[in-house]
Amino acid sequence: MKSTMCVSAVLAGILLAGFSSLALANQNLVVNGSFEAGPDPGSFTTFKQGEKSLHGWYIGKGSVDLVGSYFPASDGQRSLDLDGSPGAGRISQSVDTVPGHLYQLSFDLAANPEGPPNIKTMGVTVAGTSHKISKLGSKTYTPYALQFVALDDRTTVSFESLNQPADSAKFGMLLDNVSVMDITPPTLHQFVGEWDSPWGVIKFRQEGRYLKATYPHDNGRIVGTLSADGRTFEGEWSESPSYKPPQDGGRVYFNLSDDGQALTGGWGYGSAPPSSVWNATRKH
């Protein structure tokens, strides 16, 4: 069985600097993610906890600075310093989501270098999972992205300064260009279900962007992902007793038919090409 450890780690949530966004045309679910809405903040304008004037966002802690001409933005003319004047802040927003769908949260970060601390720290929380990010003071923006599976029909995204001392923090992480997009492959749900095959009934289920399956022959398992066009599943099969390649594991693929009722695919031992035929037809 080829290791699926890396797959499991990704399922727990990934956080990548310099991540190039998936090339799917999609709608940004975040309102005012670039902080461009509302009156001109001039150099910068401070918004405090509980104030509702930062369009789209709720300030749940401390204060934040809506930055205008004071610093260049990553996108447009404005950005947000998560440490206000003063006070380490937290902003949040809830967006509509579909439970089980896969989303990508993207944002750009710089770090206000004009005062302490040298290393800025913030937390980003989405769908109940938090990630901590630290950054040396710099006006240069870096893109970040993380993927999550929605648990509910509303998902809250929050960004929180963790700089200390919180009450006097003034020079925080600079945030801009926040987006949340549904990146669920459009055909992913068509693979989910039961398929008759020569190795028994394959039962596909979705876990985030991953498809996993079981089948009866030697208590077989399959795990993998869909191609960018959503028509081809590629992954690995493994079976008892060892669940390890090359004898008990290897590569597998399936192509979904146009009508969604058939899979044509193949399998192979270990790293060999999956050239042995493995076809299936939809059962449920």
31 counts as binding Ca ion under rule CB under 5 A = no
Scan for tokens 């260009």, then name that residue: 177
Contact between 99 and Ca ion by CB under 5 A: the answer reads: no
Nearer to Ca ion by Cβ, of 79 and 190: the residue is 79
Tokens matching residue 249: 């594991």
Cβ distance to Ca ion smaller for residue 13 or 38? 38
Q: Which range, of 12-20, 73-81, 212-220, 249-257, touches Ca ion by CB under 5 A?
A: 73-81
Binding mask 244-263 for Ca ion (x = CB under 5 A): --------------------
Residues 229 and 22 sit within 8 Å (Cβ to Cβ): no
Q: Is 234 in the site for Ca ion (CB under 5 A)?
A: no
Triad 98, 102, 106: Cα angle to 5°: 110
Does 78 interact with Ca ion (rule: CB under 5 A)?
Answer: yes
In angstroms, the CA 43 to CA 48 distance is: 17
76 near Ca ion, rule: CB under 5 A: yes
Classify the C-alpha dihedral 260-264-269-272 as positive or negative. negative
Should residue 73 be labelled a site residue for Ca ion when binding is judged by CB under 5 A? yes
- The correct pick among 1, 29, 33, 34 for binding Ca ion (CB under 5 A) is 34
Q: Which range, of 3-11, 69-77, 113-121, 233-241, touches Ca ion by CB under 5 A? A: 69-77
Q: Is 75 in the site for Ca ion (CB under 5 A)?
A: yes
Nearest residue to the partner Ca ion, using Cβ:
34
Helix (H, G, I), strand (E, B) or coil at 242: coil
Who's near 214: CB < 8 A, 6+ residues apart? 202, 203, 220, 221, 222
DSSP characters over 118-158? SEEEEEEEETTEEEEEEEESEEEEEEEEEEEE--SSEEEEE
Q: Is 280 in the site for Ca ion (CB under 5 A)?
A: no
Name which position in 65, 176, 236, 239 contacts Ca ion (CB under 5 A). 176
Sequence-distant (≥ 6) Cβ neighbours of residue 6 within 8 angstroms: none
Residues that bind Ca ion in the complex, under the rule CB under 5 A: 34-35, 73, 75-76, 78, 176
